[in-house]
Amino acid sequence: MKSHYQILIIGGGTAGIMTATSLLSKNKKLDIALLEPSQKHFYQPAWTLVGAGAYSFKRTEKLTHKLIPRNVTWIQDYAIKVNPEQNMVETKSTGILTYDYLVIATGLVMEPSLIEGLPEALANGTVCSNYINPEYTWEVLQNFKGGNAIFTQPTTPIKCGGAPQKIAYLAADYFKRKKIASRTNLIFATPGSVIFGVKPIRETLMHVIDRYQILFRHHWAPVKIDAKQKKVFFKYTGEEENECILTKDTTLQEESSGNTIIELPFDMLHLAPPQAAPKFIRESVLSSSSGWLAIDHHSMQHKKFSNIFGLGDVADLPTAKTGAAVRKQVPVVVTNILHLIATEKISDKKYNGYSSCPLVTGYNKMVLAEFDYTGNFTPDPKLKQLLIFNSDKEHRRLWFLKKYGLPYLYWKKMMRGKEV
């Protein structure tokens, strides 16, 4: 196998495959290699539905080789080091690869060890997570008989920032249907200050929270899990400490550091684990001070190395890490690489920070948050064709979009490199 490629892509997830197929659709003669270790590719957005028993896990999975076009060389291996000065990528077992242009699309990694006790709690099934095993979440929901059901998220950036609350709403709906809502304290605790950053969406979600009588706690950062005692500990990071008082079971303690620690027993706990860029990126010259891939927010070009581009979850961008964001980032990366090849300059095509979060608020209900770097609500005008004129409100049609429309868009359009 040769070792030099015109374009080398690291990571064959949503961003890597869409970039490869889109590049090829523009120019069949490009010499592209995709470095991706995994035999299977997953449509992760449907894992929220899997966790609530509303979608089959099997349907989220496809074999990687079926998605990679024939003219792209698939190197089934891991990148372990990038040497951008030499245009080289070191792999785990294939040796050194060299490139003219490099695209970094490795996604992110789960770092459960950043919360004390979490690795053990996940390993022994005390805690469930749609980010790791959504089928197990569904098992836990079905076995839940009442008590404290806690849903939370870490202080690190995470992919699909809305996913931890979506499963809380689905669980609330499920408990209501199962008639155990009256003997359940459903708590949604976030280190953030609000339920969602986009105003009209936030207003709808606060009504949803009221409807389900969810105990919403902000400024709560999970710091420790005691799997044996089934207790979770939060650090309260806000000012209004009296808001912490939750139930009779809640214990407030003063840490020696002066931080307030809230101790809460749970009967079920769903958690998004802390997340980070893969180690070989965050510990390299390619990362920014925050440890994510340092790229220009609009051109997607690396800040120091002009023949390197990055996109997807690994990128240091001030917007939500989602597949929907990838959909709008790929055309920018592709156009800029093609322009660079043809003219030695990038184009003036720019990514505006678009991202979206399909906030499922119950079985058959959804709100669609779409926004950009400004944080303003920017609904897609095409929604009107589906007779949805106010996607900041709950709709049954949006649920169908989530369950049927978006998976179709993903497999048939995005994975085939079509701009949508």
Ligand X SMILES: Cc1cc2nc3c(=O)[nH]c(=O)nc-3n(C[C@H](O)[C@H](O)[C@H](O)COP(=O)(O)OP(=O)(O)OC[C@H]3O[C@@H](n4cnc5c(N)ncnc54)[C@H](O)[C@@H]3O)c2cc1C
Residues 6+ apart with CB under 8 A from 273: 110, 111, 112, 114, 115, 118, 122, 129, 131, 132, 154
Residue type, 68: I
- In the bound complex, which residue of the shown chain has the CB atom lying closest to ligand X? 13
Residue 119 binding ligand X, by CB under 6 A: no
Cα(130)–Cα(128) distance, integer angstroms: 7
3-class SS shares of the chain: helix, strand, coil, % to 5: 35, 25, 40
- The per-residue b/e assignment along 194-212, b for 16 or more CB within 10 angstroms, e otherwise, is ebbebebbeebbeebbeeb
Site string for ligand X, 188-227 (x = CB under 6 A): ----------------------------------------
Select the residue interacting with ligand X from 60, 185, 204, 322 (CB under 6 A): 322
Q: Which of 273, 358, 362, 407 binds ligand X (CB under 6 A)?
A: 358
Task: Kindly state the number of chain residues that form the binding site for ligand X, as judged by CB under 6 A.
Answer: 34
Minimum distance from residue 245 beta carbon to ligand X (Å): 31
Q: Quick one: 106 or 336, whose CB is closer to ligand X?
A: 106
312 is an interface residue for ligand X by CB under 6 A: yes
Give me the DSSP letters along 31-63: -EEEE---SEEE-GGGHHHHTTTSS-GGGGEEE
Cα distances from 318 to residues 299, 327, 371, in angstroms, run 14, 16, 12
Our finding on whether 14 is near ligand X (CB under 6 A) is: yes
Are the beta carbons of 267 and 144 closer than 8 angstroms? yes
Contact 26, 338 (CB under 8 A): yes
DSSP 8-state secondary structure symbol assigned to residue 389: S
Element (H, E) at 323: helix 323-343
Q: For 362, phi and psi rounded to 5 degrees?
A: 165, 175
Instruction: Considering the complex, state which of residue 181 and residue 272 has its C-beta at the smaller distance from ligand X.
Output: 272
Binding region for ligand X (CB under 6 A) out of 52-60, 142-150, 293-301, 317-325: 317-325
- Of 147 and 400, the one with the shorter C-beta distance to ligand X is 400
Nearer to ligand X, 217 or 327 (CB): 327
Q: Are 261 and 252 in contact (CB under 8 A)?
A: yes
User: Which residue, 10 or 223, is less far from ligand X as judged by CB?
Assistant: 10
Among 8, 149, 271, 324, binds ligand X (CB under 6 A): 324
Q: Which of residues 127-186 bind ligand X (CB under 6 A)?
A: 130-131, 159-160, 163
Q: Which is nearer to ligand X, 14 or 184 (CB)?
A: 14
The string of DSSP letters for 110-130 reads E-GGGSBTHHHHHHTTSSB-T
List the one residue from 219, 321, 365, 395 that touches ligand X (CB under 6 A): 321
Q: Which of residues 257-296 bind ligand X (CB under 6 A)?
A: 278
Residues in 22-61 that interact with ligand X by CB under 6 A: 35-38, 44-45, 47-48
Could you tell me the smallest distance in angstroms from the CB atom of residue 352 to ligand X? 16
Active site residue ranges: 160, 357
**Residues binding ligand X (CB under 6 A):** 10-16, 35-38, 44-45, 47-48, 78-79, 105-107, 130-131, 159-160, 163, 278, 312-313, 321-324, 326, 358
